[in-house]
Amino acid sequence: MSTKQIAKIVDGVVVNIASLEDGDELIEGYVDIPDDVGIGFTEDRDGNGVLTGHSPPPKPDALPLPPPTTWLCIAATRQMLEDKARELKYDSMLAAVTYAEESTVSKYQTEGRALRAWRSNVWEKCYEIVADIDGSVRSQPTVADFLTELPTYA
């Protein structure tokens, strides 16, 4: 018994592949394809829309790398906050700010309040910059430059 390869193609791209045994009915929404076609291949069509073959997807190293994006800046902001809390010997920023209402040890209360206020100011500025980038008010800075625009811990 022989098998043939079938594929589901969405917007000209192979998104799923299955095999059929001789005698099996073609699955709805699937078409016959050559055995050397895989997921990610695109359909090649001539000027009249007639299928002429399939092209493999681009190799990962051939794809251009995107420039730093706002999500990288947000992740770097989060890391900066965590690093400062750890520098002050807290497990995390979340743990540090729980000390803001500490009444027994004033050192922890003072640090907790200072870190909580700084964290709020940092996120406010971070999202202001991100909104300006997303709104095309300004260009995307590097992550390092982005971090220099955020408030510093005093």
- Smallest CA-to-CA distance from 6 within 21, 45, 51 is with 21
Coil, strand, or helix at residue 12? coil
- Name the residue ranges covered by the structural domains of the chain: 3-60, 70-148
92-147 pLDDT per residue, tens: 999 999 999 988 999 999 999 999 999 999 999 999 998 898 888 999 888 899 99
At a CB cut-off of 8 Å and minimum separation 6, what does 24 contact? Answer: none
What pLDDT is attached to residue 81? 96
Q: What share of the chain is helix, strand, coil (3-state, %, to 5)?
A: 40, 20, 40
Report DSSP state, residue 59.
P
What pLDDT is attached to residue 60? 65
Coil, strand, or helix at residue 104? coil
